[in-house]
Amino acid sequence: MSTSRFLFLLLLTGLSASLYGQTETLFRPSLRVGYDVSALARRFLEPEVRSTEFWADWEWQRNWFAAIEGGLLDVSMEKPSHTYEAGGWFLRIGADYNFLDRKDAIHQDLVIASARYGIGSMNQQAPHIVISDPYWGDFVTSMPAERHLAHWLEIGGGVKTRIGRDFFMGWAIRTRFLLSQSSEGQINPLVIPGYGRPRGNTSVMLHYTLYYRLPL
């Protein structure tokens, strides 16, 4: 083999390896969908509350993610003095920013800061209320169905770790700031969909989520 031909093949091999390495580190937009498994764990602490949450994020440019989260809430509580029923939906939209440097296509762990706007709507009622009186006896009444609507902002952070080829798991902690809420009647909601229990104007929630990255 001539020297010129050997140098040409060596240059071609080096160029191919360089291009392959660049391909591995080039930015690729990605879509992840997830399910919040912490809602299942909360069933043991609050058996009267059943919620389902689905999450998704889209990395439209490096380290910036558009995010959307939504789900359903169902509450059924029965006590000697009253029963309470509620059902509704919620939606949260916002963005995440990743602070962790990803040097190649293999290392895809994320440390993120998050911001969200949330809205939750529900119908609630108290179909059975017992007011006890030792002199007049028990008085049974009810409160009809009414609609409750709430808006809030939330900020927080979290971690997403790659556990398989396209599978991730992560946790996030958020502080929520209630902006407004309106109700058609007089019932105070036990839980606001997507927000939590309305104790004051702030709420803190911890989430654990499993994700699957769609191979686009």
What mean pLDDT value characterizes the chain? 83
Distance CA 142, CA 154 (A): 35
Q: Is 176 exposed, middle or buried (CB count within 10 Å of its CB: 0-12, 13-18, 19+)?
A: buried
If pLDDT is split at 50, 70 and 90, which confidence band does 193 have? very high
pLDDT tens profile 60-88 = 988 999 999 999 999 998 887 778 999 99
Q: Name the pLDDT band for 184 (thresholds 50, 70, 90).
A: confident
Q: 184 vs 110, which has greater pLDDT? A: 110
pTM: 0.80
Q: Measured between alpha carbons, how far is 101 from 134 in angstroms, rounded to an integer?
A: 69
Q: What is the pLDDT at residue 104? A: 64
Band of residue 192 on the pLDDT scale cut at 50, 70, 90? very high
pLDDT at res. 21? 41
Tell me the per-residue pLDDT of 20-54, one tens digit each, with 9 for 90 and over: 444 444 667 889 999 999 988 888 888 889 999 99
With CA atoms as reference, report the closest residue to 145 among 191, 90, 183: 183
Determine phi and psi for 28, rounding to 5 degrees. -125, 120
Q: What angle do CA 55, 57, 62 make, to 5 degrees?
A: 160
- Which domains, ranges and CATH numbers included, belong to the chain? 28-214 (2.40.160.70)
The fraction of the chain above a pLDDT of 90, given in percent, is 50
Residues 6+ apart with CB under 8 A from 165: none
Dist CA 158 CA 111 (whole Å): 6
- Residue 56 and residue 63: Cα distance in Å, rounded? 15
> What is the DSSP code (8-state) at residue 207?
E
The amino acid sitting at 189 is P
CA distance 174 to 157: 7
